[in-house]
Structure 1
Amino acid sequence: MPLHYLALGDSYTIGEAVPAAERWPARLVRQLRARGLAVEEPRIVATTGWTTDELSAGMDAASLTPPYDLVSLLIGVNNQYRGRPAGEYRGQFARLLQRAVTLAGGRASRVVVVSIPDWGVTRFAGEQGRDPAPIAHALDVYNAIARDEAGRAGARWVDITPVSRRHPELLAEDGLHPSAEQYALWTEAILPAAAAALK
C-alpha cells in the first residue's frame, strides 16, 4: 500500500516563488522513494501568509482523509511577523500539533515538526531596514516553544533555522523566500526524521 503524507504550513511549505517540484515536501517524497519507500505525492495544506489560527481554519476547510503515515508541521513565521505574543503561539501551536497527531492516526512519532527559518537575514529584511537581532530573538523564542511542544507530544523535531542563517544568499527572486537550493538543504535535514518516522 502506498504511504500517505500530509504537509501543513505556510509559504515555506507551499514553496512560494519556486516551482512545485522544488518545494521541500516534494523533494522529501523523491528522497523517500529513493530509499525504497512508496510515498504518494504530498497532500499540502499551506498558504503564503498563514498564521497558526489561519492554518487551523484551512485544515477545517480541507478535505482530509486520515490516517496519514507522515505529517509535517512548519508554522509560525507570520505570527512573529505580525507581532503576536509567544503565549498565544504556544496555545495555538499545541492545538495544531495535537490535530497533526490525530491525523497521523494517533501516532505522534509519525509527526515531524520543522523549525521556523530566520527571515531576518534575508535581502527583504535588509531592504525594509529591519534589525535582524530582534527578529532572530523572537524566532528563537517561537522555535523553543515548538520544540518543547513537540517533545511533550512525542513528535519528531528538525531544526532548519541554522541552515537559513548560514545561507542568507540562497533566496528566490523575491529576496525573502528560500530558493530551490535552500530547500534542498532543508530536505537533507528533514529526511532522516521522516525516514525514521516511516520505519
Structure 2
Amino acid sequence: MLLSSCKSSPDPAKPGNNDTGSGLTYLALGDSYTIGESVSKEDRWPMQLAAALRENGVAVQEPYFIARTGWTTKDLLDGTQNYHPDKPYDVVSLLIGVNNQYQGRSIEEYRSQFHDLLVRSIGYAGGNAEKVFVLSIPDWGVTPFGESVRKRTAKEIDNFNKVAKEECDKEKILFINITDISRTALNDVSMVASDNLHFSAKMYRLWVNETIPAIKPKI
C-alpha cells in the first residue's frame, strides 16, 4: 500500500545517462502515487502526463522513476542520494508526503526534508527551478480504506500541503493542487483502484488534465 505499514527500505537509483531517445527528458520523484500502485505502468500519472504532452505537440521521453510504495521524504532523500545523472533533466516532478502523514511524522521534519528534496530536484533540472513542479498530496481518506479516519486525515493532509506550498513558494517552484480533485473519489468509486486505497487511472488522468496547462508554458 502507499502507506505501507511495513516500511519499505530505500532502493538508491544507479547513476546513468538519462537521455535514452529524442524529446525532453523527465524525472518523476515520489512514492506509490508516482510509481502507480495498483495500476499498470502505462496508467501511472507521469506516464499519462508524458503521453498527454506528446498529444499537445511536446516531444518527451518516457519518464525515469525514482519512487517506491511506502516512501517518506526521508526515504526519497536516501533513494536519490547516489543518483547523479550525466546531464540535467528537462522536467522534474515531485509528489511526496502521504507516508509522513500516515506514519505520524512531524510537520517540522517534513518541512526540512521536503525543502531538501526541492533543492535536489532543482539540481536535477540543472539549477532551473522553472523545470520543476510539485503535485500536492492527495487525500487517501476518501477511499474505502480511509473511511474510519477520514476527517482527521483530511485535516492533516491539508496541513502538510500548506507546508509544501510554502516551501515551493520560497524556491519559486510551481505547486499544483490536485488534493481537491482527489476528494471527488468520495462519491465516485471509479476513481479508486482495486485495492480500495490507491487511485485509479481515471483519477490520474484528472491530475494530468490539471497539470498540462500549468507546465506546458514552462517547458
Question: What TM-score comes out, normalization by structure 1 length?
Answer: 0.94
Match of residue 158 from structure 1: 176
Match of residue 18 from structure 1: 39
Q: Which moved more, 1:162-171 or 1:96-105?
A: 162-171
Counterpart-to-counterpart distance in 2, 1:65 and 1:125: 41
Q: Which moved more, 1:63-72 or 1:113-122?
A: 63-72
2:143–2:185: 8 Å Cα contact kept in structure 1? Answer: no
Q: Among the aligned pairs, what percent are the same residue?
A: 47
Structure 1 stretches lacking a partner, 5+ long: none
Match of residue 71 from structure 2: 50
The letter of the residue matching 1:136 is A
The letter of the residue matching 1:144 is K
What are the within-5 Å matches in structure 2 for residues 1-199 of structure 1? 2-62=23-83, 64-126=85-147, 130-168=148-186, 169=189, 170-198=191-219
**Deviation readout 1:134-171 (Å, 9 max, x if unpaired):** 11111101001111111110111100000111123211
How far 1:197 moved relative to its partner? 2.1
**Deviation readout 1:55-111 (Å, 9 max, x if unpaired):** 111112446343011100000000000000101000000000000011101110111
The letter of the residue matching 1:150 is C
How far 1:190 moved relative to its partner? 1.2
After TM superposition, which residue ranges in structure 1, 4 or more long, deviate above 3 angstroms? 61-66
Q: What is the Cα-based RMSD across aligned positions, in Å?
A: 1.2
Structure 2 stretches lacking a partner, 5+ long: 1-21
Secondary structure of 2:81's counterpart equals helix
2:140–2:197: 8 Å Cα contact kept in structure 1? Answer: yes
Number of equivalences: 195
Counterpart-to-counterpart distance in 2, 1:15 and 1:90: 25
Secondary structure of 1:131's counterpart equals helix
How far 1:121 moved relative to its partner? 1.0
Structure 1 residues 138 and 65: alpha-carbon distance in aligned structure 2, compared to 1, 3 A threshold: farther
Counterpart-to-counterpart distance in 1, 2:145 and 2:75: 24
How far 1:174 moved relative to its partner? 0.3
Secondary structure of 2:79's counterpart equals helix
Secondary structure of 2:92's counterpart equals strand
Counterpart-to-counterpart distance in 2, 1:121 and 1:6: 28
How far 1:194 moved relative to its partner? 2.3
Question: What TM-score comes out, normalization by structure 2 length?
Answer: 0.86
